[in-house]
Structure 1
Amino acid sequence: MNTEEFWAIIESSRRVVNPERADGNSRRQAEELWKQLSRLSPEEIVEFGAHFQDKMDVAYHWDLWGAAYLVAGGCSDDGFTDFRSWLISMGRRVFEDAVSNAESLLRVVDSPGVEDVFFEEFRYVPARAYEALTGRDFPAHEGAGPTAPAGEEWSEQELAHRFPAFWARHQRE
């Protein structure tokens, strides 16, 4: 599986998202991803999982954590993992734009149909599909991911300066 195929599956899983609804979209998207992965071979599911983890690693960046912190009014380590899972679930364009400029998410987080910016379940779908297909545990991802976020660490006092658009949104709430 290549990167294009990975993103095509993610994009296809989004087809069930209903912008007219503010609830249930995450569940429906996770179910759709499971259906799509269940049609693949075990090897392809493992490859999908590897691409997913690679994207999680790419998104392990202080700027994205700052955006998540301001959007949610705080963001723990676990919360940031779930935020990165959500970011991947939003598709290639949103993901790549956010990696380039975290404040690009300002136009996404309040979009119709976005019920939450934390999507823990989405990252578990490849393992669930693999285990259902094979009866075996999902193989661990090879290679160590980053041990710390990339980029420049921030403090709460710096958020207004580092992320002015998100800060303005945060202050309105």
Structure 2
Amino acid sequence: MEIERFWALIEGGADLTELPPDEIVAFARRYSQVLDAAYLAPLWAAAYLIEGGCGDDGFRDFRAGLMLQGRAAFEAACADPDSLADLPIVREMAAGSGWLGYEALHYAARNAYRARTGDVAAFDAALAAGRPTGPAGPARGERWDVEDEAENERRLPRLAALFQ
């Protein structure tokens, strides 16, 4: 699936059950690629600051929820995690409400395929044949001690102002 089509489906809130089965698989493959592209240490540090802690599963859910904010917000956050301070949902979280993470998105394609065909084994086999199972190695990019407030203020000044 072309990246433009993927983002059109994400941003349009498409019902994946309306896609043919092969497009649902293609969507799932692209989803994994986009999710893995955001496996970035600086973005993880931002998620940690925003959520008050963030492990592996939480960061995966955070990246899924970030996708739902749209392509522009997603790409901006990957390039500059401090840009997350511009998102209304992040500002809501700073005020004590709302949540960015969205675990259910990880299962959307599989659930749509099941609804469409009744055969999740075929989905799992098709998906496994076409991609690796997650990012290889540690998160990419520069790391720092996310418990160090001064370092967060230096690297993520706008987020630090909201959450520290």
TM-score interval w.r.t. the shorter chain? 0.7 to 0.9
Task: Tell whether 2:124 aligns with 1:134.
Answer: no
Task: Tell whether 2:136 aligns with 1:146.
Answer: yes
Deviation at 1:169, TM superposition (A): 1.0
Deviation at 1:111, TM superposition (A): 6.1
Unaligned runs of 5+ in 1: 14-32
CA-atom RMSD, angstroms?
1.8
Q: Give the letter aligned to residue 126 of structure 1.
A: A
Deviation at 1:161, TM superposition (A): 2.3
Q: Which runs of 4+ in 1 moved over 3 A?
A: none
Match of 2:139, SS state, is coil
Within 5 Å, give how 1:72-91 maps onto structure 2: 72-91=51-70
Deviation at 1:163, TM superposition (A): 1.3
- Provide TM-score, normalisation by structure 2: 0.84
Deviation at 1:165, TM superposition (A): 1.4
- Taking every aligned residue pair, what percent have the same amino acid on both sides? 40
Deviations 1:35-91 (A, max 9, x none): x21111111000001111001101100111111111111111111010011011111
Which residue is 1:159 aligned to? 152
Which residue is 1:110 aligned to? 91
Deviations 1:80-118 (A, max 9, x none): 010011011111111111111111110102269x93111
Is the CA contact 2:61–2:103 (under 8 Å) kept in the aligned structure 1?
A: yes
Is the CA contact 2:91–2:162 (under 8 Å) kept in the aligned structure 1?
A: no
Deviations 1:131-160 (A, max 9, x none): 111222232342253221010122122323
Q: Give the letter aligned to residue 160 of structure 1.
A: E
Give the Cα–Cα distance (whole angstroms) in 2 for the partners of residues 93 and 111 of structure 1: 19
Give the Cα–Cα distance (whole angstroms) in 1 for the partners of residues 43 and 141 of structure 2: 10
- Provide TM-score, normalisation by structure 1: 0.80
Task: Tell whether 2:21 aligns with 1:42.
Answer: yes
